[in-house]
Amino acid sequence: MRKLGLILPLGMLLGGAQAAHATPPAQGKSAADPYLWLEQTHGERATQWVQRENARTEKRFAEGAQFARTRDQILQVLDSDARIPYVYRMGDYLYNFWKDKQHPRGVWRRTTLAEYRKADPAWQTILDVDALGKAEGHARVFKGADCLKPDYTRCLIALSPDGGDAVETREFDIPSRSFVKHGFRLPVAKTQVDWIDRDHIYVGTDFGPGSMTRSSYPRIAKVWTRGTPLKDARTVYAGKPNDLAVSASHHRTPGFERDFVTVAHDFFHSTTYQLKHGKLIRIDVPGDADVHVHRQWLLVETKSAWTVGGTTWPAGALLAIHYDEFMAGKRDFTALFTPDEHTALSSFDWTRHHLILDTLKDVQSRLEVLTPQADGSWTRKPLAGAPALSTVSVVDTDPDRDDAYWLDVTGFLTPATLERGVIGETQAEKIKQAPAFFDASKFTVSQHFATSKDGTRVPYFEIDPKDMKLDGSHRTLLYGYGGFEVSLLPRYNGAIGRAWLERGGVYVIANIRGGGEYGPRWHKAALKANRPKAYQDFAAVAQDLIRRGVTSPAHLGAEGGSNGGLLMGNMLVGYPQLFGAIACEVPLLDMKRYIHLDAGASWIGEYGNPDDPKQWAYIKMFSPYQLVKKGMHYPPVLFYTTTSDDRVGPAQARKMAAKMLGMGYDNVWFYENTEGGHGAGADNKQSAHMHAMAWDFLWDQLQ
């Protein structure tokens, strides 16, 4: 639930549709903003401004032979037939969604395990999104499918008209590979659905005025019966307008069927209820804890210290107890994981009889298998992990069926390997190997620690040419995010390898506070009034790179998107002396107005409420739109956004670029793609165009 509306970093790659994604300006200081008209997403004046700035930026950075080479190199990576077709299991089949040159919008397809093991598997197409768009006269973006267990023949497919979070939901029949006539269907909205049985679903959507939260997500969860009008759906729970979102779900594991309602009050606090015999029974855990119910187990992830059952558990712990016993009043938890100064829980996944823990030690993966015993204890043993400076993650299990697991193993210089094993039967074996898109033998990977302003040690990864001279001359790209407890981990990136490393550049990932690299404490260290600590961390990494002789300010570029775009805005206005150029993508920048734009109200828990004068007193200290000034020596900056972004919205980048241009800065550039939502593009070609523009801009400026 917490991931709803997360503003994710671009490197990792929800009300109804609105004509303009903005509320009327408040009176007072906001009303004096001369660029409020750019908040009208499809306004005529705003559209003309976007077209003019797009043409200017395209002419400067996207018309030369070098840009075409960079774009094509990236597109070859994204469209390569040799990529791993990552799969997930539903019943007896492995499903995959695939985009390439022939299928720019993608095909949803499936195969068997025996066939998948082959070098060139035979796939059965379930849905061709390009063909659907052609047949219906409107291109769409596939946003996933929720299929009914255990036979997985009926699915609720989400299709976005432009790549945004608002989707049309349509019932689909897999055996006939067709949409169900008179089946469940919902118009474009930020919808949440879950199957109860073949004839009933839980639904949260735009039911009409007042049915969405201030954050633009469903406020009401209902049960909808097949063949009846949506207006007759029965309300299960109605939240408050200031809640983040309300959702209902049904667990279908045989013998453990349960129904739940989750009320997200903000991004980090929620209440979960079991819906039993028409009554709501609260699961009594702290509001900031994450709740996971599976079969007979309740797992609780603590986000702050919790004293319960006579024991105080630290933030970042994973606790287990029998669900029915907990609901009956028992509180004798077993700790499955507790953090220390160097370790944090990254994720966990159930198989039929086991739990796989993925932990981080100084931002490097470790896997462990835990097994519950009849006496209530848990045994544990390591699962084959990753090489040094790499990442291992569980990509699929089916806990209702067996103990098989699928692993993705990758590193900055190591193309991903997809492995499959069965706990207690077979060790993980290689099933697929991704190709190498650049010559990794020319480069080295190292981890370093910078010292931030308050003395905190901040880790960062550096990928650079072998035998590089530390003379400060190297074009260096420093990437960061630092928010929402999201961790930036070692991963292979063929596009970066081709477009940056092979040109002689250095690539650096900064694991600054606000992220999840060291668990909740690392995240909370940069919340709200402490947000500037994330920016101090990023600046400290930049300064360390300069101190070590890796680069110099004239050769150091920075890139970040979404929450990382806010990071870039603060680097621009707060630390301009450290950078030669900045790429700021789908960013938050106007922190005075952010809660009135698109889904902005959902992130008050991260940044604070600027409408509260006491909170605005600290928020204004990291609001680039208010901090930018005339007559400064700001580095060149490229703002990138998308018209269809209904999460952060395009207004933030538009307004910042317009304000700086209005102040007389001629080194400010802006580009807005129409499709793609809060991502890099609706298809691989659009993504390649965006990345090529950003990286060529940085390379051009860092001379």
Question: Is 176 labeled as catalytic in the residue annotation?
Answer: no
Q: Is 577 exposed, middle or buried (0-12, 13-18, 19+ CB in 10 A)?
A: exposed
215 is catalytic: no
How does strand 318-322 pair with strand 311-313?
unpaired
SS3 label, residue 207? coil
Instruction: Please give the Cα distance from 690 to 698 (Å, whole number).
Output: 13
Contact 412, 445 (CB under 8 A): yes
Q: Hey, what are 659's tokens? A: 């304000």
Pairing between β-strand 297-301 and β-strand 245-251 as defined by DSSP bridges = unpaired
CA–CA gap between residue 518 and residue 448 (Å, rounded):
16
Q: How far apart are CA 324 and CA 378, in angstroms?
A: 18
Is residue 205 a contact partner of residue 218, using CB atoms and an 8 Å limit?
A: yes
DSSP state of 161: S
380 DSSP assignment: E
Active-site hit among 250, 678, 689, 691? 678
DSSP secondary structure code for residue 562 in this structure: T
Token pair for residue 524? 């909370």
Which alpha helices (DSSP H) does 620-680 contain, by range?
624-627, 651-662
- Tell me the angle at which helices 44-61 and 684-701 cross, rounded to the nearest 10 degrees: 60
Catalytic residue among 562, 602, 623, 687: 562
Burial 677-701 (b: 16+ CB within 10 A, else e): bbbbbbbbbbbbbbbbbbbbbbbeb
CA distance 604 to 367: 34
Provide the 10 A C-beta neighbour count for residue 81.
11
State in Å, rounded, how far the first CA of the chain is from the last one.
Answer: 45
Using an 8 Å Cβ cutoff, are 566 and 587 in contact? yes
Tokens of 106: 């993608």
Please list the active-site residues.
562, 678
